[in-house]
Amino acid sequence: MPVRIVTDSACDLSDADLEQWGIGLIPLSIRFGDDEFVDRTELKTDEFYRRLANSEHLPETSAPSPGAFATLFNQFASEGADAIVCINLSEALSATIQAARTAADSDDVTIPVHVVNSKSVTGGLGSIVLSCAKAARDGKSAEEIVALAENMRDRTRVYATLDTLENLKKGGRIGGAQAAFGAMLSIKPLLDLSSGEVVAAGKQRTRKKSLAWLREQISNAGEVENLAILHSNADDIDDFIASISDIPGVNDARVDIIGAVIGTHGGPGIVGITYQTKG
């Protein structure tokens, strides 16, 4: 393909999708105390959640280096690419895109690189990347693919509910007493990440009500594209999918596991949805 697509490990696309569509992936790093791991290579998602369950402290994420991006850009150039479109997780949430821009502007990179801020995370980012990779396979130019990514970005919605306040407590975002009180009341935070930032969208007193809120977001959205259901090892994910199965398009939705980059901050049991509005 004359144009290759690059993203980062916050996209939460499967290895099969990356391979099928020739997508290059640059991983972030995950640090548990003094132990640092490269996401998805040195630390698989299932192992991440096992470590998370047993850790007293919240793990931290760190952006990849510009050199990691430059190496992959040049690899694709050596394989015959004429240009690269690099689509990264929201600039408001990570320095990853700045590393990509630094690499793209480096004299060491031999082909044009177009860096796009997805203003999204997890499956929202993933759906943009997949669509752009398919456009690249169809022979679209880099400029056409950038326009597609930016158009999809403005139509992307991401909503989620957390099952636990424990990670917010570990991360210092709420105090221990507040977390204990919230757990006692079964408070489930509702989040809207559609702008590329984490915005509180309310809270529900039970898991059942928080999942019903997610259903409302889908059912009220009208006709949508690229619907995906996201979760971080949620043991009630099948029940949630069954509860929305009557909504048009749900049976064709992707179901993606939320990886370490987002799971670090939300913890286990997240359930989310993402889609693009029709445009």
Query: Do 172 and 136 reside in the same domain of the chain?
Result: no
> What is the predicted pLDDT for the residue at 198?
85
Query: Do 235 and 115 reside in the same domain of the chain?
Result: no
Query: Do 139 and 13 reside in the same domain of the chain?
Result: yes
In tens, the pLDDT along 79-124 reads: 999 999 999 999 999 999 999 999 999 999 999 999 999 999 999 9
Q: Which CATH number belongs to the domain containing residue 200 in this structure?
A: 3.30.1180.10
Q: How far, in Å, CA of 247 to CA of 69, rounded? A: 40
Query: Do 144 and 161 reside in the same domain of the chain?
Result: no
Query: Do 235 and 114 reside in the same domain of the chain?
Result: no
Tell which of 137, 154, 171 closes a domain: 154
Mean pLDDT of 200-213: 91
Judged by average pLDDT, the poorest of 88-92, 126-130, 179-183, 227-231 is 179-183
Q: How far, in Å, CA of 199 to CA of 159, rounded? A: 10
Query: Do 109 and 202 reside in the same domain of the chain?
Result: no
Q: How far, in Å, CA of 76 to CA of 84, rounded? A: 8
Query: Do 60 and 191 reside in the same domain of the chain?
Result: no
Tell which of 109, 136, 154 closes a domain: 154
Query: Do 132 and 175 reside in the same domain of the chain?
Result: no
> What is the predicted pLDDT for the residue at 173?
44
- How many domains in the chain? 2
In tens, the pLDDT along 133-173 reads: 999 999 999 999 999 999 999 999 999 999 876 665 555 54
Q: What is the average pLDDT score of the chain?
A: 91
Percentage of residues of the chain with pLDDT beyond 70: 92
Query: Do 147 and 204 reside in the same domain of the chain?
Result: no
Query: Do 233 and 247 reside in the same domain of the chain?
Result: yes
Q: Kindly provide the b/e burial profile for residues 25-41, where b requires at least 16 CB atoms within 10 angstroms of the residue's own CB.
A: bbbbbbebeeeebebbe
Return the beta strands (E) in the chain as ranges: 3-8, 24-26, 29-32, 35-38, 60-62, 83-88, 113-117, 156-161, 188-192, 199-204, 224-231, 254-257, 271-277
> Residue 132 sits in which domain range?
3-154
Query: Do 181 and 234 reside in the same domain of the chain?
Result: yes
* pLDDT over threshold 70, residue 258: yes
C-alpha closest to that of 82 among 73, 90, 91: 73
Q: Are strands 3-8 and 83-88 parallel, antiparallel or unpaired?
A: parallel
Query: Do 150 and 54 reside in the same domain of the chain?
Result: yes
Tell which of 98, 131, 154 closes a domain: 154
